[in-house]
């Protein structure tokens, strides 16, 4: 989606002497829910760029490309050697076309959020010996066979870059780090590494990606937001989220707008909230409700102090469930507001800022929460695609 905005902006800017056209050739996701969201995203992109989504293939698990199972190989080395010796299947089940399509489409850039649980500090940190590494191996094999000129990989900063190189022979890697605050979203914590892989046989480096990143950071250094800026949900939307939870809890008598939303929290959440209120008060001397930029992540116990008090940032979103409580307004951050903090154009001000793109549907809280899942930060993703495509070109 961010690439669609990028493509349109570059074409409208007149700054390049050619027309940029980067339609999505194929997508992969093993989660059926995510596949449905990607289909919606493609329709959104069509409204921005005009590219017909009918031409994009949608595949499931990338491991389906392997001709066998890696389960019987126990070590990293044996799995890697096996993947490199195998030829990938020439066709996979495509959900877009209801047929078996070739996953080897000509394209100039591949953007992948490869799995991070094996590296993430919140995960088991099994690194290259972890269960998700075959995805990297298969991705590397696919990149080699499809001769994709540019790869862009987003992952947690603890990514094992040597493993990435092992799995992708023939590519030179350029690793950068970023967080949403580099591009104005200073109240969102989401440190990530973005790694550009340039195909040694097809590309040359035309400009220094690190310098370009620094220039963009400098250009945006005066743009800042606070947690309160993310509170964009209307009263009706807040009530709708409250009612949905009340229904799930069978609290039929709950009156949104009259009864406090804290009634909808579970006992553990209430306990965390009250302990954090006390901690905040003893540290600052002020009641928590006076801080309009204060948010607590109620998914952790109060011992961890997962709050915005120290950094001014919303604690990093995770796949695990958990509400972000806002003491000043006595409610939780809605799904729409979480999407807003991730750069998605959910309100007309954000849509206008992106040059009048269609709004991303975020009124339905369940759908918004699904969309968020483990999403990349919208603006950051667009900027790194811009850096990759600007700094590398055909030989
Ligand atoms: Zn297809």
What structural domains and CATH numbers belong to the chain?
2-224+374-394 (3.40.50), 227-372 (no CATH)
**What pLDDT score does 373 carry?**
65
Distance 355 CA to ligand 1 centre (A): 31
Distance 15 CA to ligand 1 centre (A): 34
At 326, the pLDDT band (50, 70, 90 cuts) reads: very high
With contact defined as beta carbons under 8 Å apart, do 188 and 341 qualify?
yes
**What pLDDT score does 335 carry?**
87
Distance 377 CA to ligand 1 centre (A): 27
Q: Tell me the CB-side half-sphere exposure of residue 352, using CA atoms within 13 A.
A: 3
pLDDT above 70 coverage of the chain, percent: 96
**What pLDDT score does 342 carry?**
93
User: Rounded to whole angstroms, what are the CA distances from 378 to 130, 145, 153, 213, 300?
Assistant: 28, 29, 14, 16, 26
Distance 222 CA to ligand 1 centre (A): 44
Q: Which of 243, 246, 333 is nearest to 296 (CA)?
A: 333
At 319, the pLDDT band (50, 70, 90 cuts) reads: low
Distance 97 CA to ligand 1 centre (A): 5
**What pLDDT score does 33 carry?**
82
Distance 95 CA to ligand 1 centre (A): 7
CA distance 390 to 265: 48
Residue 286 has pLDDT above 80, yes or no: yes
Residue 224: count of CB within 10 angstroms of its CB: 13
**What pLDDT score does 71 carry?**
86
Residue 363 has pLDDT above 70, yes or no: no
**What pLDDT score does 274 carry?**
97
- Residue range 299-315: mean pLDDT, rounded: 91
Distance 61 CA to ligand 1 centre (A): 14
**What pLDDT score does 121 carry?**
73
pLDDT above 90 coverage of the chain, percent: 82
**What pLDDT score does 24 carry?**
95
Work out the burial of residue 387: count CB atoms within 10 Å of its CB; fewer than 13 is exposed, 13-18 middle, 19 or more buried: buried
**What pLDDT score does 264 carry?**
96
**What pLDDT score does 31 carry?**
85
With contact defined as beta carbons under 8 Å apart, do 351 and 321 qualify?
no
Q: Which of 40, 42, 378 is nearest to 185 (CA)?
A: 378
Q: Which of 115, 105, 103 is nearest to 164 (CA)?
A: 115
Strands 324-326 and 331-332: antiparallel
CA distance 22 to 45: 11
Alpha helices in 86-173 (DSSP H): 133-146, 161-167
Distance 100 CA to ligand 1 centre (A): 7
Give Rg (Cα) of the chain.
22
Extract the tokens encoding 248.
């799930």
Q: What is the mean pLDDT of the chain?
A: 93
Distance 50 CA to ligand 1 centre (A): 19
Give pLDDT tens digits for 62-105. 999 999 998 889 999 999 999 999 999 999 999 999 999 999 99
Distance 321 CA to ligand 1 centre (A): 33
Distance 58 CA to ligand 1 centre (A): 6
Residue 351 has pLDDT above 90, yes or no: yes
Distance 59 CA to ligand 1 centre (A): 8
Distance 147 CA to ligand 1 centre (A): 19
At 315, the pLDDT band (50, 70, 90 cuts) reads: confident
- Residue range 232-241: mean pLDDT, rounded: 94
Distance 43 CA to ligand 1 centre (A): 16
CA distance 367 to 362: 7
Nearest 5°: the CA angle 75, 76, 77 is: 90
Give pLDDT tens digits for 195-210. 999 999 999 999 999 9
Question: Which carries the bigger pLDDT value, residue 119 or residue 47?
Answer: 47
**What pLDDT score does 320 carry?**
64
- Please identify every residue whose CB atom is under 5 Å from ligand 1, which is an ion: 57, 94, 96-97, 101
Distance 51 CA to ligand 1 centre (A): 15
Distance 107 CA to ligand 1 centre (A): 15
Work out the burial of residue 218: count CB atoms within 10 Å of its CB; fewer than 13 is exposed, 13-18 middle, 19 or more buried: exposed
Distance 81 CA to ligand 1 centre (A): 30
Distance 25 CA to ligand 1 centre (A): 9
CA distance 26 to 58: 6
Residue 367 has pLDDT above 80, yes or no: no
Distance 39 CA to ligand 1 centre (A): 13
Structure-derived torsion over alpha carbons of residues 213, 182, 319, 1, reported in degrees to the nearest 10:
-60
Extract the tokens encoding 159.
């990514």
Distance 102 CA to ligand 1 centre (A): 7
């Amino acid at each position: 989606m961010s690439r669609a905005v990028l493509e349109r902006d570059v074409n409208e800017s007149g700054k390049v002497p050619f027309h940029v056209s980067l339609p999505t050739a194929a997508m992969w996701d093993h989660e059926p829910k995510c596949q449905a969201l990607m289909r919606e995203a493609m329709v959104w992109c069509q409204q921005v760029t005009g590219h017909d989504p009918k031409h994009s293939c949608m595949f499931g698990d990338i491991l389906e490309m392997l001709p066998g199972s890696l389960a019987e190989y126990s070590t990293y080395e044996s799995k890697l050697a096996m993947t490199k010796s195998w030829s990938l299947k020439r066709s996979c089940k495509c959900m877009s076309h209801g047929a078996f399509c070739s996953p080897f489409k000509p394209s100039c850039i591949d953007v992948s959020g490869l799995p991070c649980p094996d590296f993430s500090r919140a995960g088991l940190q099994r690194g290259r010996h972890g269960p998700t590494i075959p995805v990297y191996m298969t991705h590397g094999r696919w990149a080699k066979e499809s001769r994709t000129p540019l790869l862009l990989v987003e992952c947690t900063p603890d990514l094992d870059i040597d493993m990435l190189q092992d799995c992708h022979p023939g590519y030179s890697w350029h690793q950068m780090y970023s967080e949403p605050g580099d591009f104005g979203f200073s109240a969102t914590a989401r440190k990530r590494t973005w790694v550009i892989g340039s195909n040694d046989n097809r590309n040359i480096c035309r400009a220094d990606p690190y310098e370009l990143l620094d220039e963009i950071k400098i250009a945006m250094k005066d743009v800042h937001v606070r947690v309160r800026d993310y509170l964009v949900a209307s009263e009706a939307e807040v009530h709708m989220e409250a009612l949905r939870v009340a229904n799930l809890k069978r609290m039929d008598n709950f009156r949104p707008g009259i009864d406090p939303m804290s009634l909808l929290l579970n006992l553990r959440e209430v306990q965390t909230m009250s302990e954090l209120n006390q901690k905040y008060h003893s540290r600052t001397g002020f009641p928590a409700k006076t801080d309009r930029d204060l948010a607590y992540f109620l998914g952790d116990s109060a011992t961890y102090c997962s709050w915005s008090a120290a950094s001014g940032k919303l604690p990093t979103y995770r796949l695990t469930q958990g509400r972000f409580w806002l003491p000043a307004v006595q409610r939780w951050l809605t799904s729409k507001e979480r999407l807003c903090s991730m750069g998605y154009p959910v309100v007309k001000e954000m849509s206008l800022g992106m040059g009048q793109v269609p709004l991303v549907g975020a009124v339905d809280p369940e759908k918004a929460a699904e969309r968020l899942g483990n999403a990349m930060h919208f603006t950051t993703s667009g900027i790194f695609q811009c850096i990759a495509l600007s700094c590398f070109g055909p030989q």
